[in-house]
Amino acid sequence: HMVSLHFELEFPEQAFPWTHIHSELLTSFKSQEPRPSKLQHDVSAALTRIGWNHSFEFETPEGLSLDMSQPETKTAIEVDGPSHFLIGNIVQRTENGRTKFKSRLLCQLGWTVFHVPYFEWNVLADAMVQESYLQIKLTNRYTIEEGQSTKTA
């Protein structure tokens, strides 16, 4: 489904061979039940404490699941656990292709995406530091374009 969505967004004037099975792709994609982690629940609780009202495990009309979001402003927070990163170099962690691809799709759909990587969150000492971290992150608005973070405003 994500590949189909990508082609619809990148090449809207083109007809692709799988267009006739789009609804089946979407149904299959959406059938995967979200399994929120403890990390996601912790980040959500901290967002609530700082007054950032949000939907938990929100699904976009296109079928993409967001960990936390404010749909009215198209703002998303994705909590990235170890499975979102390539295995290997622990000094320079690199998002895997699926994570980058999803962020790219969301940005193409007009969403602003903030990432909370587990290795940044896990070193935050207490609730006050977590709240400060999120306030700073939400103040610096970033989107993903072509796999790179660029400041938007």
Q: What is the pLDDT of residue 35?
A: 81
Q: State pLDDT tens for residues 110-127.
A: 999 999 999 999 999 899
What is the pLDDT confidence band of residue 31, given thresholds at 50, 70 and 90? Answer: low
* Residue 29 near residue 21 (C-beta atoms within 8 A): no
In this predicted structure, the answer to whether residue 150 has a pLDDT above a threshold of 80 is no
Q: What is the pLDDT of residue 20?
A: 62
Three-class DSSP category at 44: helix
Q: State pLDDT tens for residues 83-116.
A: 899 987 666 789 988 899 899 999 999 999 999 9
> Which long-range contacts does 10-16 make (Cβ < 8 Å, 24+ apart)?
10/108
